[in-house]
Structure 1
Amino acid sequence: METTRQQAIIVGVQLQNDTNFAYSMEELRNLAAACNITVIGELSQKASRINPSHYLGTGKIQELSMMVEDEDTLIIFNDELTPSQIRNLESSLDRQVIDRTILILNIFADRAKTKEAQLQVEVAQLQYMLPRLNGMRESLGRQGGGSGLKNRGAGETKLELDRRRIEERITALQAELQGQVERRQIQRRQRHKNEVPVVCLVGYTNAGKSSLLNAMVETYHPGSNKQVFAKNMLFATLETSVRSIRLPDHKTFLLTDTVGFVSQLPHHLVKAFRSTLEEVTEADLLIHVVDASDPQHEQHMTVTSDTLKALGADGIPTVYAYNKSDLTDRAYPAVEGGSITISARQSSGISELTGLIRSHVFNDYVQCEILVPFDRGSIVSYFNEHAHVQEVSYEEQGTRLRLECRAADYERFRGDFVELSH
């Protein structure tokens, strides 16, 4: 059975000094497409402020009303609408009205796969709905149509019932989420105990973070089937994926893929996803992935930086990875200071990026030459597994190793071997 795509008109108000308006309308179009909605028209208005009652001025409301011929056509507004704006617009236009926030929430609801992501999206949706129930009080009250208070009371009672149910559901979901958060904190503490560095991929939605994670996994663990879902669409990744990357010299770090950022991300979602994004605040290094082929990539970088600042992660060392360079005229792979030009799709620049990661997260290693007595063979096994052993020879007193190991491991075993050079 063929499903017909919903049609919509997108509407926005350009305020004075708003230089990103055209881009944000284009992004609204992309968000609609991600919800399987076809945009058939666009209406915009320049104004010094947004109309508090109807978002648009009276003339524009009439113009919009004439544009909407089909009663099934949806009207999508570029900003988050207040409860009264939604009510007034639906009354004036006699059409369903939604805003940018509910569009993003719908995409998240559709894409959430893990239990935690689903819980977080539901909390965000309910928090969005709660004040909008309040805005419906008047229209519910009007249903009485002047036939006494009885009907209106029934409407309000139903409203209170809905509100209480939503509040109870939010409380229950948040308790369940807390359990998920605590479980992840235990996992994080375990990682800290194991002293495994954490490297986080951050960036705008659809910059290629998941593709980069997959390229790293395939480079260092070919055929391991540990790839994550990656697709050229907004918000393909909604949950944090962590992969352990073990380099040929036995150094290991954890690579984390995170949900992408977007301009005007609904504050409900920032709050709901804060626990997911906490991974970012505890990282040893951030890889800020940028879609270099997107003409708006500088704007995307600003949005990402602002979001990281809001999370309290702006002080973490950051490497900028300009991805999708195969779609530009940039030379790649190329390293310049703390930036690198790569193509995750072609796995080009992976070794150079690994070199940058190494220089940031493996600076607590020591080069040494040691002699391990034969009755301490387990230490030799440990270093073979967890250090980069460059040379081995056998002498009368034991096994001689020239190696590079973590300073913590060196200190841990220093009473069990003879130090020849350090």
Structure 2
Amino acid sequence: MSRPARTLYRKPVILLCYVRNHLTFTSLPQEHQPRAKGRRADALMDEDAGWNVFDAERDGEQFDREERAALRRVAGLSTELQDVTEVEYRQLRLERVVLVGVWTSGTAADAENSLSELAALAETAGALVLDGVIQRRDKPDPATYIGSGKAQELRDIVLETGADTVVCDGELSPGQLIHLEDVVKIKVVDRTALILDIFAQHAKSREGKAQVSLAQMQYMLPRLRGWGQSLSRQMGGGGSGSAGGGMATRGPGETKIETDRRRIREKMAKLRREIAEMKTGREVKRGERRRNRVPSVAIAGYTNAGKSSLLNRLTGAGVLVENALFATLDPTVRRAETPSGRVYTLADTVGFVRHLPHHLVEAFRSTMEEVGDADLLLHLVDGSHPQPEAQLAAVREVIREVGAQKVPEIVVINKADIADPLTLQRLLRAEPRAMVVSAHTGQGVEDLLELIDAELPRPEVELKTLLPYTEGALVARVHREGEVLGEEHTAEGTLLTARVHQELAADLRRVSLTPA
């Protein structure tokens, strides 16, 4: 029995804009949308109403029937502008999205905070959030993520809002993406694809771009799809004696999708070789710092916690600071000094996020080695966030994945100027090695510098030596590599009291005018 023909679905006319070095599909200006939405509604009305691919949802015992039967609207997510002067511009450059989340555990506030974070990610990627819904389930539906019935309700919300993209708060399997798109009739992306898109926009260095490209290919490889003739064989593949064989028809016999996969794997292998070569160059620089006995401090934390702002406050580096997620992708290492004059390096690293895609952790592993090789870790947390404890847990999970859990850690609670005092007190009670600062106002920064000075590893040899004035380079080396406790200029030379490492102590004893 032949299947009934499906009504051809015509998508609304779209404009193609070039924004932020990437192509973005956007909807028409406001005055053209009702007609486009009407065509889409007519086409959807002709859709086969009897389509039923998925099994009915299991009647779970964990949730009440009313809770399971409803999509929960999340208020306060819409970023649609009311100012007429800005509406026209943003409608030409932004995708219009509806957010969807599945609430499987925790409280309702936890689920809404997760969707709020997804809204911030979507805005960072250049989208206009129109609406957001949450469904309570014991686990995501294996076919459509939210179940076939709720997918139909989601289609109604899409038609009502005029959205052109659905963003799901989780990583969807290839089958879930395909089936959900079949129902809602617009593009569907998951949280992983959204984060990868943000990384692709913000990567500036050659290594950052290579790492993002590798992660994107790892994500895309199992999600390749072929249609119609794209699945046919190349060059036949039959022998000379076969019925359909002959000259110019024998070949590898690969399908088009197999060829695409092979090319992606070859490109991934090439990117891995390039990243390994870049890793060698960074290891050389770290080795030079270790030879010079320069202590290192790494700043790690949740995305948009204020890491770059703190780096600028401590060193005056002038690194890009932006109120956006993943504004920093390329690690920045700057020279800094403690209040006692000790020199150390301060590294700003890529921000972490809940459910950071595994592909990204693997691709950015070489970059995150700055954290593993540090002598001290400043774990920055946003004190004004609704769930700072969840941020701490998410960052520590990634730190464990990159093998940096043994690095001494100081929890730095940032944004004290706008944080709730009760939240700050709760964090200070929960974290014994924590302090409160504001990178924006400078509050607590002096205390942080003193704590860094106390926590950095100190040279193991303490000595008092008199150096001739001809050894000015050696005196400068003591200032650079050691800790000067006292310095006095006498008639014979420079009298130094300092803590230095073993190698430098031997050089000082060799030229000293008095016994050490």
TM-score category by the smaller chain? 0.7 to 0.9
Deviation at 1:96, TM superposition (A): 0.9
For 2:515 and 2:158, the matched residues in 1 are separated by: 83
Query: Measured at CA, do residues 417 and 130 of structure 1 come closer, stay the same or move farther in structure 2, by a change above 3 Å?
Result: same
Any idea what SS the aligned residue of 1:260 has? coil
Give the structure-1-normalised TM-score.
Answer: 0.87
Q: Does 1:47 align with 2:142?
A: no
Query: Measured at CA, do residues 256 and 382 of structure 1 come closer, stay the same or move farther in structure 2, by a change above 3 Å?
Result: closer
- 2:451 maps to a residue whose letter is L
Deviation at 1:277, TM superposition (A): 0.4
- CA RMSD, 1 decimal: 2.9
1:401 to 483, 486, 495: 495
Any idea what SS the aligned residue of 2:447 has? helix
1:29 to 90, 96, 119: 119
Any idea what SS the aligned residue of 2:506 has? helix
Contact kept? 2:300, 2:351, Cα under 8 Å:
yes
2:439 to 314, 329, 344: 344
- Equivalence for 1:269: 360
For 1:194 and 1:305, the matched residues in 2 are separated by: 30
Larger strand share, 1 or 2: 1
For 1:187 and 1:400, the matched residues in 2 are separated by: 32
Deviation at 1:306, TM superposition (A): 1.2
- 2:490 maps to a residue whose letter is Y
What does 1:315-334 align with in structure 2 at a 5 Å threshold? 315-328=406-419, 330=421
- Equivalence for 1:82: 173
Higher gyration radius (CA): 2
Contact kept? 1:286, 1:319, Cα under 8 Å:
yes
Structure 1 range deviating more: 15-24 or 112-121: 15-24
- Equivalence for 2:198: 107
- Equivalence for 1:200: 298
What does 1:215-294 align with in structure 2 at a 5 Å threshold? 215-218=313-316, 226-247=317-338, 249-294=340-385
Can you list the C-alpha shifts for 1:32-60, whole angstroms capped at 9, x where unaligned?
11112122122222112221111121220
Q: Does 1:298 align with 2:394?
A: no
Q: Does 1:161 align with 2:259?
A: yes
Contact kept? 1:369, 1:400, Cα under 8 Å:
no
- Equivalence for 2:61: none
For 2:309 and 2:145, the matched residues in 1 are separated by: 40
Contact kept? 1:365, 1:404, Cα under 8 Å:
no
Query: Measured at CA, do residues 307 and 363 of structure 1 come closer, stay the same or move farther in structure 2, by a change above 3 Å?
Result: same
Query: Measured at CA, do residues 413 and 61 of structure 1 come closer, stay the same or move farther in structure 2, by a change above 3 Å?
Result: same
1:15 to 87, 91, 104: 104
For 2:470 and 2:364, the matched residues in 1 are separated by: 52
Can you list the C-alpha shifts for 1:367-391, whole angstroms capped at 9, x where unaligned?
5432235665654454466553633
Deviation at 1:272, TM superposition (A): 0.7
Can you list the C-alpha shifts for 1:306-354, whole angstroms capped at 9, x where unaligned?
111111111110111111101135499xx99622111111122222111
Any idea what SS the aligned residue of 1:326 has? coil
- Equivalence for 1:177: 275
For 2:129 and 2:498, the matched residues in 1 are separated by: 59
For 1:182 and 1:295, the matched residues in 2 are separated by: 40
- Equivalence for 1:147: none
Query: Measured at CA, do residues 393 and 195 of structure 1 come closer, stay the same or move farther in structure 2, by a change above 3 Å?
Result: closer
Give the structure-2-normalised TM-score.
Answer: 0.72
Query: Measured at CA, do residues 45 and 141 of structure 1 come closer, stay the same or move farther in structure 2, by a change above 3 Å?
Result: farther
Q: How many residues matched?
A: 401
Deviation at 1:4, TM superposition (A): 3.9
Contact kept? 2:299, 2:378, Cα under 8 Å:
yes
Structure 1 range deviating more: 375-384 or 13-22: 375-384
For 2:325 and 2:210, the matched residues in 1 are separated by: 20
Unaligned stretches of 5+ residues in structure 1: 145-149, 219-225
Deviation at 1:129, TM superposition (A): 0.7
Identical columns (%): 36
For 1:100 and 1:329, the matched residues in 2 are separated by: 29
Any idea what SS the aligned residue of 2:448 has? helix
Query: Measured at CA, do residues 15 and 203 of structure 1 come closer, stay the same or move farther in structure 2, by a change above 3 Å?
Result: same
Q: Does 1:212 align with 2:336?
A: no
Query: Measured at CA, do residues 378 and 191 of structure 1 come closer, stay the same or move farther in structure 2, by a change above 3 Å?
Result: closer
Query: Measured at CA, do residues 140 and 276 of structure 1 come closer, stay the same or move farther in structure 2, by a change above 3 Å?
Result: farther
Unaligned stretches of 5+ residues in structure 2: 1-87, 233-243, 245-252
Q: Which has the higher contact order (CA 8 A, sep 6+)?
A: 1
- Equivalence for 2:454: 359
- 2:118 maps to a residue whose letter is L
Any idea what SS the aligned residue of 2:192 has? helix
- Following TM superposition, the consecutive aligned residue runs of length 4 or more in structure 1 with deviations greater than 6 angstroms are 141-144
Contact kept? 1:71, 1:95, Cα under 8 Å:
no
Any idea what SS the aligned residue of 2:136 has? strand
Any idea what SS the aligned residue of 2:493 has? strand
Structure 1 range deviating more: 412-421 or 184-193: 412-421
